[in-house]
Structure 1
């Protein structure tokens, strides 16, 4: 079964952002997209890959008390 292509509104809803953000990602070529005639579509896997690539992992090391009072 071929992968489902999402329009800009559906992609924005899936990312939890506005359409303007998705359109900016497309215009800056920061995310892969498909042109279907004059329409722009995004594959679900592309959105998943974008989220995974931009996920920031939490810091696991805790700072000790000795570092709290120091100036940079």
Structure 2
């Protein structure tokens, strides 16, 4: 099965959300599924297969987190 997961918090950001998504991704892949993560850009992120980084900016009131801006005009 091909599974897409959408999140605004993923590694290298450290949080319970990013950790839970990574664990779920790893377990689904171990069972033979293809998992694609759609998340925000991060200046510290390294390119990884099946991780799609959407254009984003720092969130106004929580600068450590980012919010995607791609597609807002549609």
- Compute the TM-score of the two structures, normalised by the length of structure 2: 0.25
Structure with max Cα Rg: 1
Higher helix proportion, which one? 1
- Compute the TM-score of the two structures, normalised by the length of structure 1: 0.25
Higher strand proportion, which one? 2
